[in-house]
Amino acid sequence: MANLRDIKKRITSVTSTKQITRTMEMVATAKIRRATDRVVAATPYSDAMMRMLNNLAANAAEGSHPLLATHAEKKHVLFVVVASDRGLAGAFNTNVLHAAEKQASKYTEQGVAVDYILCGKKAIGYFSYRGVAPSMSFAGLSADPTIDEARRIASFAREGYANGGYDEVTVFYNHARNAADQDLRVEQVLPVVVSADKAEAEEGPQTSFEFEPSEAEVLGSLLPAYVVTTIYHALIDSASAEQGARRKAMKSATDNASDIIKTLQRQYNRARQGAITTEISEIVGGAAALKKEE
């Protein structure tokens, strides 16, 4: 059994760690609200834009815009991988990085080339270690993404797809299901997939629209904005999920530290009791020896 000094050092060390994890849990809790509010504020705009695209798709001619056109053969794809800048968030980064790597391996086996846009230091470090040079990378923005970041990614993806450099653009990120749980999402950004039947399936009276100057020109303005919105929504959704994952991981770490401290405290009490018993036995034995000598 470890001596009292060793046990006391372990208790002090674990207590210090518990204070750190508890503080990180509180910080993540404070950040969740702001991150979630950004997602809630952006969602209606994204949904409204998708509904408008559906209405346009019902009237627009097939292949009326390059971002709607599906390429006949898939030879080159672009992955936008959204991770975090910091760790200590459980499996938050692992899930999205492994999903992107697994999908890339499947494409590579089929002879499809894969390029990456990496968001977050963890994604950059993960793929750099594997010798992957990204087309674009963004660090230091995972907890607070900007619309400029989304625009730069969207512009690169749009130009690459419209020019035939890419045949598909996919984003990998974690969706914040609630304040505690996250879901991995793999969404195709390009080609833009719209459903002309969605508007017809909605309940309530349907509205017919007249477009000026024309459906094609409105679509040409709306699609680039939609790609920016889709990517920005993924970035802020991932930011919200990151705080939730970190809060959950730090709460688990804090609870585990409390359990370890309780176990160590019991060990310390038993060791202390054993040491006292030994001392008493030695005193009694010494007194008995002195009495015999008398």
The pLDDT tens digits for 13-46 are: 989 888 898 888 888 888 888 888 888 888 888 8
pLDDT digits (tens, 9 = 90+) for 172-190: 999 988 877 888 999 999 8
> What is each CA distance from 19 to 26, 119, 250, 255, in whole angstroms?
11, 30, 11, 11
Ranges of each domain in the chain: 4-25+249-293, 29-247
Pick the CATH number of 29-247 from 1.10.540.10, 3.30.200.210, 3.40.1380.10, 3.40.50.300: 3.40.1380.10
Looking at residue 217, its pLDDT comes to: 74
User: Phi and psi dihedrals of 145, rounded to 5?
Assistant: -65, 155
Q: Which residues contact 186 (CB under 8 A, 6 or more apart)?
A: 99, 103, 170, 171, 172
> What is each CA distance from 226 to 46, 131, 136, 191, 209, in whole angstroms?
8, 33, 20, 12, 19
pLDDT digits (tens, 9 = 90+) for 63-73: 567 887 888 88
CATH of domain 4-25+249-293: 1.10.287.80
Arithmetic mean of pLDDT over the chain:
84
For the chain, residues with pLDDT lower than 50 are 1, 196, 198-201
Same fold for the domain at 4-25+249-293 and the one at 29-247?
no
Prediction pTM value:
0.80
| Residue 294 amino acid letter | E
182-190 β-sheet, strand order? 136-138, 113-119, 76-82, 168-176, 182-190
| Rounded to 5°, angle at Cα 232 from 38 and 106 | 130
Q: How far apart are CA 161 and CA 135, in angstroms?
A: 14
